[in-house]
Structure 1
Amino acid sequence: MRRFLLAAMMFGAVTGAHAADMPDFLRGSLPASSTPTRNWDGWYAGGQVSQSWINTDFGSSVVSLTNSIFRNTTLQDATSQLNVLGRVNGHSSGFGAFVGRNYQYDDVVVGVEANYNYWSGLGGSTSASLGPIQVAEPTLVLPVGATAADGVSLNGNATLQVRDEMTFRGRAGWATGNFLPYIFGGLAVGRMDVARTVSSSVTRTINFADGTSTSFVLPQFTQTVTDGRTSNFVAGWTAGLGLEYMLWGNVFVRGEWEYVKFMSVKNTSVTQNTVHAGIGYKF
């Protein structure tokens, strides 16, 4: 019995000595990270280069023009339903700058930012023809058994260019080591040039009960209407995600994907996908 107790005491002493020399993680605790989380709190500013892809929907661009040509007639409603033009995709490079303020709470970083981008030829143009589309004219006073229809032909073209834009964002991220992944969302304001033109012609055909018919052009509807405006300020919204990495000192680099949807301007709507690469300094 005394030999057993002596052996147990010696085993316990040796085990305790070895335990004191064991690594922290074998004693039930993880070692501290070798890369401490950076301090992102404070003001920052920087510059960026960008590549943007734009989708412009010209489907309703000439509706207000055809409404003007055919106002107060039976053709106004019918022509307003026609999509003379379609969608156009375009892309462009650009450059800009950003400035913002971070607030850090442990590893959580929230903040606000203003972001500006100038674009070189971001936009698109399109042209198309439609018709003749036959529109019945049931309200005309005609001989018994006769019917009438108007054949409407439209030729349209439109262009849109985004000159530059600003976004005002709120953002939230998670600081880990030198990295700061984040998401953002907010308001966008773009400066755009828009122009559109439509030409119309209408040929009326009257079919008589005896099988004969006659056709003639309605000169009051042979028109060309043009409308355009430069430097339209168009509001919208933005959302996206990004990643920042602290290089050295307070210098950081960033990469972003951003989606912007603008409100309709001159019956034309624009959506935009952009990637940004930038470098900045935290004060």
Structure 2
Amino acid sequence: MRRLWLVAAVFGSVSAAHAADLSDLPVLRGGFTDGLSKTSQNWEGFYVGGQFGFATTDIDFSHAPKSMTDFMLRNSILQAPVGGWSLLPKNHVQSTGFGAYVGKNWQLYDAVMGVEANYSYMNNIASSASDSMTRILDGETAPTGHTYTYVTTLGGGASLKLKDYATFRGRVGWDGGDFMPYAFAGLAIGRAEVSRFATVSYIKHDDYDTSVTVGGVTTTTHHQDTIDTGAWASTEQRANAFMYGWTAGIGIEYAICGNFLIRGEWEHVGFSNVKDITVGLNNFRVGGGYKF
């Protein structure tokens, strides 16, 4: 009987020792799941920063004289056709720029949502164009045997310099630890210096034939008489013309030492026309900031 009690005591001691050792294993303390969890950066809060970028811009002057010619030729047969002419080209411009941004993030698990105001000053986004063209246009219904035509000449030019622009955008990102990819979209407002001019002139012709019969021989002669002429010119210049549009793009942000942030992004901005000129730009930029 004493031997049985001795054996039981020995086994009890061994079991207690094993239990004590097992209590140090991370799987029993929760250390195993702690080891599997990733370290997440806290992206929530206000942030500010500065940026530098390179922009490629398309400035479309093709219909720059349109509203001016529409007014000069109002209530005439020439208004619609002349207003549809693509007189000037679309120019491609490249420039650098710099600016600043401020925003606020909210974080829900791995999703990061935020709002941001962004300002960019452009160094030299400027372009100009000028040209002229002449076309023969059909005129009003003429008397029998007559045809009215207009020899119409349109001339014009335009220039635009984009000074700066601001965007107000919402963004959605994913918490990848020390980095966060994101996408954004919002509204844009730009400030530009714009000038343009247009000239329109026409010569109205009356084409008809006359016939004369002499000795049984009929001779037909074609006539082209000038029955009207007209000419107009208009010039317009704005030192600060505001353009409104939209913005969208993608980027990635990286956290250094917790609250210091660096970023790289691509932003597209499309502006509605200003003085019949449209502007669209792609801005590639890098920046650095601080999150409070």
The TM tier, using the shorter chain, reads 0.7 to 0.9
What TM-score does the superposition give when structure 2 sets the normalisation length?
A: 0.81
Aligned to 1:43: 46
Aligned to 2:139: 137
The AA in structure 1 aligned to 2:138 is: A
What secondary structure is seen at the aligned counterpart in 2 of 1:32? Answer: helix
- CA–CA distance in 2 between the matches of 1:68 and 1:173? 49
> Which one has a bigger Cα radius of gyration?
2
Distance change (3 Å), C-alpha of 1:193 and 1:127? same
Aligned to 1:66: 69
Distance change (3 Å), C-alpha of 1:215 and 1:279? farther
Looking at secondary structure, tell me which structure has more strand per residue.
2
* Residue of 222, 234, 258 corresponding to 1:225: 234
What secondary structure is seen at the aligned counterpart in 2 of 1:91? Answer: strand
Cα offset, 1:129, TM superposition? 1.5
Asked whether the 8 Å contact 1:192–1:230 carries over to 2, the reply is yes
- Using the aligned pairs only, state the percent identity: 38
Aligned to 1:274: 283
- CA–CA distance in 1 between the matches of 2:257 and 2:119? 25
The AA in structure 1 aligned to 2:278 is: S
The AA in structure 2 aligned to 1:280 is: G
Aligned to 1:243: 252
Asked whether the 8 Å contact 1:54–1:123 carries over to 2, the reply is no
What secondary structure is seen at the aligned counterpart in 2 of 1:180? Answer: strand
Where structure 2 has 5 or more consecutive residues not aligned to the other structure, the ranges are 1-21, 211-220
Q: CA RMSD in A?
A: 2.5
The AA in structure 1 aligned to 2:103 is: G
Aligned to 1:149: 149
Count the aligned residue pairs.
259
Distance change (3 Å), C-alpha of 1:122 and 1:45? same
The AA in structure 2 aligned to 1:76 is: Q
Asked whether the 8 Å contact 2:206–2:224 carries over to 1, the reply is yes
Cα offset, 1:23, TM superposition? 11
- CA–CA distance in 1 between the matches of 2:115 and 2:139? 59
Aligned to 1:15: none
User: Does residue 181 of the first structure (1) align with residue 181 of the second (2)?
Assistant: yes
What secondary structure is seen at the aligned counterpart in 1 of 2:209? Answer: coil
- CA–CA distance in 1 between the matches of 2:168 and 2:262? 20
Aligned to 2:261: 252
- CA–CA distance in 2 between the matches of 1:216 and 1:123? 43
Asked whether the 8 Å contact 2:206–2:227 carries over to 1, the reply is no
The one-character-per-residue Cα deviations of 1:95-153 (angstroms, maximum 9, x if unpaired) are: 0000000111121111100000001121321112211x11122345x5x5121211101
Query: Greater CA deviation, 76-85 or 208-217?
Result: 208-217
Aligned to 1:161: 161
Aligned to 1:113: 116
The AA in structure 1 aligned to 2:168 is: F
* Residue of 85, 95, 110 corresponding to 1:82: 85
The one-character-per-residue Cα deviations of 1:167-216 (angstroms, maximum 9, x if unpaired) are: 00100100112101000011111111221111222122222213333354
Asked whether the 8 Å contact 2:45–2:105 carries over to 1, the reply is yes
Distance change (3 Å), C-alpha of 1:94 and 1:33? farther
